Amino acid sequence: MSGLHIPIGTPDGSRTEHAENLLAPNPSLMTLDGTNTWVIGTGEEVIVVDPGPDDQAHLGRVRDHLGERRVTQILLTHGHFDHSGGARRFARMVDAPVRALDPRHRLGEEGLGDGDVVTVDGLEIHVYGTPGHSFDSLCFWLPADRAMLTGDTVLGRGTTIIARDGGLADYLRSLDRLRAAAEGLEARALLPGHGPVLPDPIGALDGYIEHRRQRLDQIRAARAQGARTPRQIVKIVYADVDRSLWPAAEMSVAAQLDYLDRL
């Protein structure tokens, strides 16, 4: 794809024609390299998606990077702290409103939800409601670049977790919806909330959908062996996964048990 730039080793500086990533310095097992803060627009006015955690140095770096360009709006892919924690501070720094699905994370009058179209500098951003990772997860389609910003719904590496405020049935529907959108709109890149840009949207989404199906099969099998609690199931299904991720895996298993029990 022309205009797609994926640096080697770090997502910092990844870009499409009209979107650029400034990586926040909050790496961890859950946030991979850190949170991706996306700047949309190449003209005098820009939109910033996910300022990241409340990290003065990172927020200052984003503002300095923008120079004289004006931030018209700050959008959040969802309310988790690693994406939203710095939003209010950044909003004060650049004098812009914060728009999010969850009213608790907004600053200003305007909300944000499925079907909304946000514009900046002649660019359109189409909002997709994609609940599942969290109840308030949104994806942002950038038609000019045929790129989808996916927040934590799809990550650049590994798989996402279903947080306590999310749900697996919603998540599976959201993946199917993104898969259909990626095909129908001929998407050329997914721009995730963590990790590198994904240049094969349909392949990545198919991988996610297949992974979920396999995990559910594994959980059914673990249950057939007598495992009952999330912890017992994690010990079997996630035996090959780093133990530091087991608490997150337990959360994910709990979401999957909840899903299976409702089928």
The catalytic residue positions are: 82
Q: Which of 33, 116, 145, 152 binds Zn ion (CB under 5 A)?
A: 152
Q: Determine the interface stretch with Zn ion among 59-67, 150-158, 182-190, 245-253 (rule: CB under 5 A).
A: 150-158
Question: 3-class SS at 100?
Answer: coil
- H or E element: which one contains 36? strand 36-40
Asked if 86 contacts 54 with a C-beta cutoff of 8 angstroms, the reply is yes
In the block, residue with structure tokens 């057939």: 224
Examine residue 82 and tell whether it contacts Zn ion (CB under 5 A): yes
Residue 229 beta carbon to Zn ion: minimum distance, rounded to whole angstroms: 27
Q: Strand locations in 51-145, DSSP E?
A: 70-75, 98-99, 117-120, 123-129, 138-142
Q: Determine the interface stretch with Zn ion among 41-49, 60-68, 81-89, 104-112 (rule: CB under 5 A).
A: 81-89
Question: 3-class SS at 133?
Answer: coil
Residue 236 beta carbon to Zn ion: minimum distance, rounded to whole angstroms: 27
Asked if 197 contacts 156 with a C-beta cutoff of 8 angstroms, the reply is yes
Examine residue 170 and tell whether it contacts Zn ion (CB under 5 A): no
Examine residue 250 and tell whether it contacts Zn ion (CB under 5 A): no
Residue 65 beta carbon to Zn ion: minimum distance, rounded to whole angstroms: 21
Examine residue 20 and tell whether it contacts Zn ion (CB under 5 A): no
Residues of this chain that bind Zn ion (CB under 5 A): 82, 152
